[in-house]
Amino acid sequence: MQPPITVGTILQNRYRIIQILGQGGFARTYLVEDQRRFNELCAIKELTPTTVGTSMWEKTQELFQREAAILYQIEHPQVPKFRERFEQDQRLFLVEDYVAGKTYRNILSERQALGQTLTEAEVLLLMGSLLPVLEHIHSRGIIHRDISPENIILRDSDSKPVLIDFGVVKELATRLQSPDSTAPVTSVGKLGYSPTEQMQAGQAYPNSDLYALAVTVIVLLTGREPRELFDDNQLSWHWQQFVRVNPRFTQVINRMLNYRPSDRYQNATEVIQALQAIDQPNVPIPNNTSNLQTVAVGGRQPQPVPSPSPNRPAPAIPPSNSSSVLDNPLAIGAIGSAVVILAGVGSWALVSSIRSQPQTPQETPAQTFPSPIISGGTLTPSPTPTNVEPVILSKRLIFDASNTATVENTIKENQIVQYSFAGQRGQRLTAVLEPGNGIVLSILDGKKQPIDNLANQVPSYDGRLPLTGRYTIQLTLEPGITENDYTLNVELEKLIKETPTPTFIPTPTPTFTPSPIASPTPTPTLTPSPSPSPSDTPTPSTSPTATENPIDLPTPNTSPGI
């Protein structure tokens, strides 16, 4: 990693560095003043790749330009605006607005110094202000992936929480260390705050941000770190014992902390609706799953304790102060007769029912669901998903004159979208999905197999085609995503090496050889020009131009002959 830039240095003849705000593994943040905007303060993030060499630097630049474009899509007053990107001295820089205020980590530390923490009303106000921000960025296919008390600033100007330090910056800084790799980055996020599907599998969904927001809330409420609130032995959260809050609010937080992404709230709008129902006792909280124990992602869900079946009779307990019926011989005889009668009637009914049933023994077990899966508090039969087959939508990719193609569409759950095109061996193919979250692509050959290991389930591809033939770009949704809009940008390198060879070879023979032949043609037309004059003596005096032309024309005519 290159050393930090000294204070006072001016970047791009515009940004003067005032101080260093922070430094991480692959990035550094400076406080600068913009000399072209009346010395307005802004923040610059420096991403310092370790790769050296011309080819690696070019790939790093391409990755930087492509990934940084995601940040410029965000337009929200509670998100710092990313102004521009630039490169200088093989250093990559991102410029964004500077937010003056305190992080919620600093606010919590100040409260803890007084023996206090944030109140339920304060965290509810925080959630009510941040959830619309998440709703906005998620609608654009952007996931923060690094929500924590350190990355939320209470802005001094309007006392509103501002979301900073998007995880895409960390991912970009990490991926710049190895631009050739297309493997998902699994280290983006904060341990304890980010769910395991993000930290271990590299998969992030909108409700992954909701999970991190819930962890942030219980840390602010209890003043304890996630490692203190999470039981590693039982793989469950135990935060309620450290703070007393509204039970309905507890239900909302517990569902946000659910170990399965599918069992959490699917988007920020559902959380907003659930929070609005907290103060309305007569209104049930939508999709209440408070009876489920919250378990961390990657842990095994505890098996529920089996409850007594309502059809199972409770054991009879004889009264302690009364005499037993077995002491009466008449009662014993009556009971025996009743048992014999009931046994006979029951046997007859059983045989009759068996005879009356149709001889289709395969239908009965097919209509029963012996092992239901508990998901979100409801019983989901296990055989249901096996009958669902994906819907394949095939289209032909149409390239323009520059050999590029852009497709905007929507992919839904249980759909596979395929775009076919013809390619030649050695052609360079570039395919990029925007946004790159929630959808992956694969480059398939004529046998519907990935053309290489880097062309299978990736957000983008850049490589050479191995053979001449038909290819397919296949798009699929990542697990847990039900629907997503996308823009597919494809560029296929033009093959122009063979076209110039036949055009330049024949051109010199027809163009240069007729030029001396064309020059003598005007000489016979110009030489008879003095013949039309009727008079003999005035011919040279009346038309001096006619006498000059025959004099000038013979000179070029004699040169080709020589």
318 or 275, higher pLDDT: 275
Query: 473: closest CA among 505, 451, 444, 502?
Result: 444
Q: Are 483 and 413 in contact (CB under 8 A)?
A: yes
Query: What's the chain's length in residues?
Result: 562
Q: What is the pLDDT of residue 485?
A: 87
Residue 538 has pLDDT above 70, yes or no: no
Beta bridge partners of 218: none
> Would you name the residues annotated as active-site residues?
146
Q: What is the largest CA-CA distance in the chain?
A: 174
pLDDT band with cut points at 50, 70 and 90 for residue 558: very low
Token reading at 540: 């040279």
C-alpha–C-alpha distance, residues 444 and 471, integer Å = 6
Contacts of 106 (CB under 8 A, 6+ apart): none
Helical axes 247-256 vs 206-222, angle rounded to 10°:
130
Q: What is the pLDDT of residue 539?
A: 45
Cα 430 to chain centroid, rounded: 18
Q: What is the pLDDT of residue 472?
A: 93
Calculate the average pLDDT of the chain: 74
Q: What is the pLDDT of residue 474?
A: 93
Mean pLDDT in residue range 339-354:
57
- Residue 303 falls in which region: left (phi positive, over 0), alpha (psi -120 to 50) or beta: beta
Query: 410: closest CA among 351, 339, 482, 500?
Result: 482
Report the SS3 class of residue 404: strand
Q: Which of 148-157, 196-205, 353-362, 382-391 has the lowest mean pLDDT?
A: 353-362
217 or 326, higher pLDDT: 217
Walk me through the domains of the chain, giving residue ranges and CATH numbers: 10-97 (3.30.200.20), 101-276 (1.10.510.10), 391-492 (2.60.120.380)
Cis upstream peptide for 435 (omega within 30°): yes
Mean pLDDT in residue range 498-521:
50
C-alpha–C-alpha distance, residues 140 and 134, integer Å = 10
Output Rg (C-alpha) for the chain, integer angstroms: 40
Q: What is the pLDDT of residue 57?
A: 73
Q: What is the pLDDT of residue 559?
A: 42
Q: What is the pLDDT of residue 551?
A: 42
Mean pLDDT in residue range 159-171:
82
C-alpha–C-alpha distance, residues 486 and 433, integer Å = 7
**Main-chain dihedrals φ then ψ at residue 535, nearest 5 degrees:** -90, 155
Range of 10-24, 170-184, 228-242 with top mean pLDDT: 10-24
Question: Look-up: residue for tokens 């550094």?
Answer: 28
Label residue 275 exposed, middle or buried (CB < 10 Å: 0-12, 13-18, 19+). middle
Residue 303 has pLDDT above 60, yes or no: no
Mean pLDDT in residue range 448-453:
85
Residue 560 has pLDDT above 70, yes or no: no
Contacts of 253 (CB under 8 A, 6+ apart): 214, 217, 218, 239
Mean pLDDT in residue range 492-508:
57
Q: How many other C-beta atoms lie within 10 A of the C-beta of residue 176?
A: 23
C-alpha–C-alpha distance, residues 66 and 49, integer Å = 16
Q: What is the pLDDT of residue 313?
A: 39
Residue 469 has pLDDT above 50, yes or no: yes
pLDDT band with cut points at 50, 70 and 90 for residue 496: low
C-alpha–C-alpha distance, residues 451 and 444, integer Å = 6
117 or 307, higher pLDDT: 117
Q: What is the pLDDT of residue 203?
A: 85
CA atoms within 13 A on the CB side of 164: 25
pLDDT band with cut points at 50, 70 and 90 for residue 449: confident
Residue 452 has pLDDT above 50, yes or no: yes
12 or 343, higher pLDDT: 12
C-alpha–C-alpha distance, residues 132 and 78, integer Å = 10
Q: Are 76 and 129 in contact (CB under 8 A)?
A: no
Residue 320 has pLDDT above 90, yes or no: no
Q: Which of 10-19, 161-170, 534-543 has the lowest mean pLDDT?
A: 534-543
- For strands 27-34 and 439-444, give the pairing: unpaired
CA 212 to each of CA 143, 147, 199, 218, 274: distance values in angstroms, whole numbers, following the listed order: 11, 6, 12, 10, 17
> Residues of the chain with pLDDT > 90: what percent?
33
Buried b (16+ CB within 10 A) or exposed e, 36-51: eeeeeebbbbbbbbee
Q: What is the pLDDT of residue 403?
A: 86
E strand or H helix that includes residue 525: helix 522-526
Query: 275: closest CA among 249, 243, 246, 250?
Result: 249
Q: Which of 20-29, 433-442, 553-562 has the lowest mean pLDDT?
A: 553-562
pLDDT digits (tens, 9 = 90+) for 256-294: 999 889 999 999 999 999 999 887 776 677 654 433 334
C-alpha–C-alpha distance, residues 89 and 59, integer Å = 16
DSSP letter for 141, please.
T
pLDDT digits (tens, 9 = 90+) for 64-85: 777 778 788 888 999 999 999 9
CA 459 to each of CA 157, 177, 258, 404, 439: distance values in angstroms, whole numbers, following the listed order: 39, 18, 27, 18, 7
Q: What is the pLDDT of residue 53?
A: 61
Q: Which of 314-323, 348-357, 485-494, 512-521 has the lowest mean pLDDT?
A: 314-323
Going 169 to 173 to 174 to 180, the CA torsion angle's sign is positive
Q: Are 553 and 523 in contact (CB under 8 A)?
A: yes
Q: What is the pLDDT of residue 341?
A: 63
E strand or H helix that includes residue 196: helix 196-199
178 or 60, higher pLDDT: 60
pLDDT digits (tens, 9 = 90+) for 173-229: 666 655 555 555 445 678 899 998 888 888 889 999 999 999 999 999 999 999 999
Mean pLDDT in residue range 14-38:
89
Token reading at 403: 């050999």
Report the SS3 class of residue 561: helix
Dihedral of the alpha carbons of 338, 343, 349, 354, in degrees to the nearest 10: 170
Contacts of 429 (CB under 8 A, 6+ apart): 423, 443, 461, 462, 463, 464, 465, 471, 490, 491, 492, 493
Q: What is the pLDDT of residue 536?
A: 47
Mean pLDDT in residue range 124-135:
96
C-alpha–C-alpha distance, residues 462 and 374, integer Å = 43
CA atoms within 13 A on the CB side of 491: 9
Q: What is the pLDDT of residue 2?
A: 77
Query: 204: closest CA among 139, 142, 272, 130?
Result: 142
Token reading at 241: 């014992």
C-alpha–C-alpha distance, residues 264 and 251, integer Å = 11
Rounded to two decimals, the pTM is 0.52
